[in-house]
Amino acid sequence: MPDSDMKTIYNARPRSRSAADMQCAIRILEGRWKMMILAWLFEGPVMRFSDLQRAIPDISQKMLIQQLRALEQEKVIFRTVHAQVPPKVEYGLTDIGKALGPVFTALLDWADLRRAVKASDA
Amino acid sequence: MPDSDMKTIYNARPRSRSAADMQCAIRILEGRWKMMILAWLFEGPVMRFSDLQRAIPDISQKMLIQQLRALEQEKVIFRTVHAQVPPKVEYGLTDIGKALGPVFTALLDWADLRRAVKASDA
DNA sequence: GGGCATGGTTACCTTTTGGTGGGTATTGGA
DNA sequence: TCCAATACCCACCAAAAGGTAACCATGCCC
């Protein structure tokens, strides 16, 4: 491997603080749905339960609730219940949740890059 | 919700290209181990199979192989077999893999923030 | 009185994920 | 001769994740 490649790698390398930190963060976002839900919560100040259902049609009601509860417990999102009939519940990002912005931005950039590379391969 | 909060949210919002792109990226990194493996691959130009085993002691051999294969198929990592006895196999990040650097950096920053917030809560 | 809407809960089942413990091949060294 | 080292593969099992369908409460409207 030539030196130039080494440099590329070491420039790309994120400062490794600790593997434990990484795992901790990963576990919170783990699963098929959490990132998807968070991505949609970035779309507006709040989203109603039914908004999320419509936004992510493949998720089952059970999963949606389960994942929302998990994210709420980690204080990544908040839940506000309005005493109305029919009920109205709003979900939104907490400050910690909003701090995930750069992660999602980076991920979307990466997705773009991948698509570009794939296209040029073909 | 006051206007100032709205602004905070919209500033934090990653540009939403498409939910499909997001899901596509998420699926590649999904699971308990892939991000962990990638994080370690950022540690050096290449890692041997046994290096990764030592680095992530909780992973079983089967899972490690399985996840490495999956990442290889997505062209996020490469695999080089050296015709030696005993065998020597090296894994490293491809260009696409290296492009994940910002995602990991952002994630580690987030983990730090979370820890800081938790500490100040207590 | 019946249907609708919202935001759930629950029981049950299937699929996916992950773990364990075995086995394989090669070859140099004791 | 037998073992160690490396990087696997395979069969089997356990656990976790996820899906389906039914049910609930409330209050409005017809």
Per-residue confidence band for A118, with pLDDT thresholds at 50, 70 and 90: confident
Q: Is the peptide bond before A86 cis (omega within 30 degrees of 0)?
A: yes
* Neighbour-count burial for B37-47, b at 16+ CB within 10 Å, e otherwise: bbbbbbeeebb
Asked if the structure places residue A99 within a domain, the reply is yes
Asked if the structure places residue B23 within a domain, the reply is no
Asked if the structure places residue A58 within a domain, the reply is yes
Strands A77-82, A47-48: pairing is unpaired
Q: What is the pLDDT of residue A38?
A: 95
pLDDT in tens, B80-119: 999 988 999 999 999 999 999 999 999 999 998 998 998 8
B55 touches strand D (CB under 7 A): no
For the cut 80, the answer to whether the pLDDT of residue A6 exceeds it is: no
pLDDT in tens, B66-83: 999 999 999 999 999 999
The CATH number of the domain holding residue A104 is 1.10.10.10
User: Which three-class secondary structure state does DSSP give residue B68?
Assistant: helix
Domain that holds residue A95: 32-121
| Cα-Cα-Cα-Cα dihedral sign, residues A22, A24, A25, A31 | positive
The pair of structure tokens assigned to A59 is 């998720």
Asked if the structure places residue A20 within a domain, the reply is no
Output A8 or A85, whichever has higher pLDDT.
A85
Among candidates A29, A54, A36, which has minimal Cα distance to B22? A36
Spatial distance from the CA of A62 to the C1' of C7 (Å): 11
Asked whether the beta carbons of residue B21 and residue A102 sit closer than 8 angstroms, the reply is no
pLDDT mean over A96-105: 95
For the cut 90, the answer to whether the pLDDT of residue B24 exceeds it is: no
pLDDT in tens, B43-53: 889 999 999 99
d(CA A22, CA A32): 18
Asked if the structure places residue B57 within a domain, the reply is yes
Q: Which nucleotide is nearest to B63 (CA to C1')?
A: C18
* Cα angle, residue A106 at apex, residues A105 and A112 outer, rounded to 5°: 90
Asked whether the beta carbons of residue B110 and residue A99 sit closer than 8 angstroms, the reply is yes
pTM: 0.86
Per-residue confidence band for A9, with pLDDT thresholds at 50, 70 and 90: very low
Q: What is the pLDDT of residue B22?
A: 82
Among candidates B29, B115, B122, which has minimal Cα distance to A24? B115
Asked if the structure places residue B70 within a domain, the reply is yes
CA distance B54 to chain A (A): 13
Q: What is the pLDDT of residue B9?
A: 44
Per-residue confidence band for A12, with pLDDT thresholds at 50, 70 and 90: low
Asked if the structure places residue A6 within a domain, the reply is no
pLDDT in tens, A34-81: 999 999 999 889 999 999 999 999 999 999 999 999 999 999 999 999
Asked if the structure places residue A43 within a domain, the reply is yes
Domain count, chain A: 1
Asked whether the beta carbons of residue A110 and residue B17 sit closer than 8 angstroms, the reply is no
The mean of the pLDDT values for chain B is 86
CA distance B49 to chain A (A): 18
The mean of the pLDDT values for chain A is 86
